[in-house]
Structures are given as C-alpha cells and as structure tokens.
Amino acid sequence: MSAATLYTPEVLGLATGLAALPLDEGLPLRGSARSARCGSTLTVGLAVDAAGRIVRVGVSASACAIGQAAAALFAGGALGRDLAQIGAARGEIEAWLSGGALPAWPGLGAIAAAAGYPGRHGAILLAWRAAEAALA
C-alpha cells in the first residue's frame, strides 16, 4: 500500500481541521495520551453537561496526519457522548485495528486504509484514550 493511499486529500483535510478545535482554558477537563510505538502525543480538553456528556472539545496534537485526522473524527463524533460511550468506541476501534469490522463512529471510513499500517494504530487511538483520561 502506498503513502498516497494512506494520506489522501480527505485525511489531510481532516488533519488540518484540528486548527478549528483549539485547546483553551474554557475546557476544564484535560486528558493526554501518548503512542509508545510512534511517539505521537495528544491532549484533549473537554466540557461536559450535568449528565457528563461532552458538549465541547479542544485538541492539541503532536502526531502524524493519521493521528490528527483521527482526532478530528473523534471531535466530530464526541458531542453528546459520555465516558462509557467513549470507552466502548475505543474498544470497537481497537477490535477493528486487530482485524475486526470498521466501527460505526462517524467518518471513520476516511482513515480505514490506516488499519493496514500497525505503526499508525497507536496514533489513531490517541483521542479516545485522552478523552477517557479526561472523563475518568
């Protein structure tokens, strides 16, 4: 599989879209994650409602374009979800990366080719892991 298959215009567009999701002081919950395999890091800031559902997301990432695109997809689908739902989604993504079916998380098909690159798996999971840390 070539890099062109992995780094599509859609993936690159998602990655650059993180600029619209700044990590700011108005996001009181913080969580960070690091991929041991590639060294990518990501911090998520969240605001939640009284029921613990995410109402706002900010991201600061030092990751490859796949990790950044995955973080943008996380942010696009996280609103209204709580800790249990984020954890369940992370589990589904881990299963997919281990050879299972593509999860139903909105837009995840945009990075589907990355499942064939084990070196990118840790970066894909960063946002979900960071959000779990923030919500725990």
Tell me the mean pLDDT in the region 26-53.
96
Q: In the CATH scheme, what is the code of domain 3-135?
A: 3.90.1010.10
pTM of the model: 0.95
Residue pair 127/70 in contact by the 8 Å Cβ criterion: yes
Contact 126, 20 (CB under 8 A): no
Instruction: Write out pLDDT tens, residues 63-111.
Output: 999 999 999 999 999 999 999 999 999 999 999 999 999 999 999 999 9
Sheet containing strand 29-34, strands side by side: 29-34, 41-48, 54-62
When pLDDT is cut at 50, 70 and 90, the band that residue 5 belongs to is confident
What number of CA atoms fall less than 13 Å from residue 71's CA on the CB side?
39
Q: Which of 90, 61, 64 is nearest to 3 (CA)?
A: 64
CA-CA-CA-CA torsion for 94, 95, 101, 105, nearest 10 degrees?
A: -40
